[in-house]
Amino acid sequence: MAATWLKDTVFYEIYPQSFYDTNGDGIGDFNGIIEKLDYIKSLGCNALWINPCFDSPFADAGYDVRDYKKVAPRYGCNNDLYRLFGEAHKRGIKVLLDLVPGHTSEEHEWFRQSQKAEKNEYSNRYIWSDFCFQRTADLNYIGGESERSGTYALNFFKCQPALNYGFLNPEEPWQLPIDHPDCIATREAIKDVMRFWLDHGCDGFRVDMAGSLVKHDDEKQTGTSAVWLDIRKMLDEEYPEAAMVAEWSRPSIALRAGYDMDFYLNHPGNGYSTLMRDYFVNDKEKEDNSFFKKDSDGDINRFLDEYVKWYEDTKDIGYISMLTCNHDTNRPRYTLEPDELKIAYAFIFTMPGVPFLYYGDEIGMRYLELPTKEGGYYRTGSRTPMQWNKGKNLGFSEGCKDSLYLPVDEAEDAPTVEEQEKDKDSLLNVVKELLNLRHREEDLQADADFKVLCAEKNAPFVYKRGSLTIAVNPSDKEKTAALTVKGEKIYSLGNAEIGEDKLTLSSQSFVVIR
């Protein structure tokens, strides 16, 4: 079962290069995160996920790790990160680091040694064929760049050679089984990295491409699951309160593979995408029928048809994590206005599991159309600097404009923390209210029961969390549910009327009833 502290936890995701710059070089840093910990706590977030901060050539924004035990100098030094752990813990805030176990940078010393013709302990740390022109149909390979005769497999971009955890069903002599000593050595090396950071004060890991380890795996990913269960055994024995969240989005597999949480990611056409980002089909924009778009033809059942099956299957073994956004996804403000976001966030923060708030979403930062930066491509527009105030560079950095990691939003109405803190009806203050409500009401926390009461298209969506009844109407029309609901309203956005045998919500309304 999941780490006990996750029951009443809300995460805040920080893209470190874009959060707060304290030395004027245009790039965020660890000291910037430390300076803003009180702000994060004031939101109601009591845990952080920090995107990759290890030494890297940054061909993929840090997801190409050059040294797992050294932080990238752009953010500070190892001691700065250790101090961040300590300062966060003083405030009751846990910290997850971003672990990349499926690949490294091609500049990692393990890979440099693996490229050598002479056999050494790292020769099989990566997946190599046994001939310079050898290919397989289902893996991308690179050849011609190493002294050894062979081609090496990629895990994602060209700069990211795949670490070797073995093949579930080897078909070639160079394809090692998952119990081969060299594949086990890869697993043990990752355990060693995890121990290093846990011993220095981190509280666990968000795991990148968690399902990518074992190659030629089966549909149930039994090979990759076996690797994670072995790692989980180590954590249970040595760090029982360490938590892991998977970038997998297959909770029935991930949570049985030893994870505490699995992200419900935005994949075009899946349930989560229908809530706020139902505007892509095969990478082409279409009519937006997102459920939380007030004038759409959205239907909550497109979400529930997938989610409820996952929830019922996994509710006793771990958590499905809903998120406002992440560094790989268009910010929800791309198509939703602040009043629409209030209703969407009210839903996300009152659902089961452990929610994640992406930095800047609490003020409705926009998605900006930008050229690619460090492998971001379309994702770059969701990685822009945090907007603190109307000062220089919107308070992100005292550096010159040309030095900024990415440009800030130059619109006159670019939202900022400082302005929204003064407005009691702002998106920021609604987020604070919602998170305070979640912490206050145990029935809104991660493990309280969930039950759908009404999911008819022309009625409000009504659900139970423990003893609480919650109703949401994101549309621009009044809607009524034929339900007998008794109790008092303990929180609302918009207007809700509780009748003897009906519950009526005005347009763009949300209510929690005890």
- Residue for token pair 């805030």: 93
- The dihedral region occupied by 470, where left means phi > 0, alpha psi between -120 and 50, and beta the remainder, is beta
Phi, psi angles (nearest 5°) of residue 511: -150, 145
Is there a domain that residue 176 lies in?
no
Residue type, 154: L
Same domain (yes/no): 418, 373: yes
List the alpha helices (DSSP H) in 292-364: 301-314, 338-348
**For 145, which DSSP code?**
S
Is there a domain that residue 172 lies in?
no
- Residue for token pair 């924009």: 285
For the stretch 317-361, pLDDT in tens is 999 999 999 999 999 999 999 999 999 999 999 999 999 999 999
Tokens, residue 341: 């976001």
Number of structural domains found in the chain: 3
- Residue for token pair 């968000």: 206
Same domain (yes/no): 207, 354: yes
For the stretch 264-315, pLDDT in tens is 999 989 999 999 999 976 666 778 999 999 999 899 999 999 999 999 999 9
- Residue for token pair 């923060």: 349
Look at residues 384, 374, 415, 329 and name the one whose alpha carbon lies nearest to residue 26: 384
Q: Is 9 helix (H, G, I), strand (E, B) or coil?
A: coil
The predicted pLDDT at position 90 comes to 98
Same domain (yes/no): 387, 453: no
The predicted pLDDT at position 409 comes to 98
**Facing residues of 211 across strands?**
none
Same domain (yes/no): 433, 454: no
Q: For residue 482, what is the domain's CATH number?
A: 2.60.40.1180
Is there a domain that residue 141 lies in?
yes
Q: Do residues 213 and 227 lie in contact, with contact meaning Cβ atoms separated by under 8 Å?
A: yes
- Residue for token pair 């602040």: 338
Same domain (yes/no): 501, 404: no
Same domain (yes/no): 18, 90: yes
Alpha-carbon span 232 to 396, nearest angstrom: 38
From 164, 191, 206, the end of a domain falls on: 164
Tokens, residue 264: 């419900």
From 420, 443, 466, the end of a domain falls on: 443
**Facing residues of 204 across strands?**
243
Is there a domain that residue 171 lies in?
no
Look at residues 369, 363, 373, 396 and name the one whose alpha carbon lies nearest to residue 381: 369
From 443, 465, 488, the end of a domain falls on: 443
Same domain (yes/no): 382, 492: no
Same domain (yes/no): 327, 423: yes
Run of H or E residues at 452: strand 450-454
Render each residue's pLDDT in the chain as its tens digit; 514 residues.
579 999 999 999 999 999 999 999 999 999 999 999 999 999 999 999 999 999 999 999 999 999 999 999 999 999 999 999 999 999 999 999 999 999 999 999 999 999 999 999 999 999 999 999 987 768 899 999 999 999 999 999 999 999 999 999 999 999 999 999 999 999 999 999 999 999 999 999 999 999 999 999 999 999 999 999 999 999 999 999 999 999 999 999 999 999 999 999 999 899 999 999 999 766 667 789 999 999 998 999 999 999 999 999 999 999 999 999 999 999 999 999 999 999 999 999 999 999 999 999 999 999 999 999 999 999 999 999 999 999 999 999 999 999 999 999 999 999 999 999 999 999 999 999 999 999 999 999 999 999 999 999 999 999 999 999 999 999 999 999 999 999 999 999 999 999 989 999 999 999 999 9
Q: For residue 140, what is the domain's CATH number?
A: 3.90.400.10
The predicted pLDDT at position 134 comes to 87
Alpha-carbon span 489 to 496, nearest angstrom: 9
Is there a domain that residue 170 lies in?
no
Q: Is 95 helix (H, G, I), strand (E, B) or coil?
A: strand
User: Dmax of the chain from CA atoms?
Assistant: 81
Tokens, residue 338: 């602040």
Alpha-carbon span 187 to 260, nearest angstrom: 19
Q: Do residues 346 and 431 lie in contact, with contact meaning Cβ atoms separated by under 8 Å?
A: no
Is there a domain that residue 174 lies in?
no
Same domain (yes/no): 470, 421: no
Q: For residue 290, what is the domain's CATH number?
A: 3.20.20.80
Run of H or E residues at 39: helix 37-43
Domain that holds residue 411: 4-102+183-443
Same domain (yes/no): 110, 33: no
Same domain (yes/no): 317, 380: yes
Same domain (yes/no): 361, 476: no
Is there a domain that residue 495 lies in?
yes
Q: Do residues 384 and 409 lie in contact, with contact meaning Cβ atoms separated by under 8 Å?
A: yes
Look at residues 114, 151, 116, 115 and name the one whose alpha carbon lies nearest to residue 133: 151
Q: Do residues 226 and 177 lie in contact, with contact meaning Cβ atoms separated by under 8 Å?
A: no
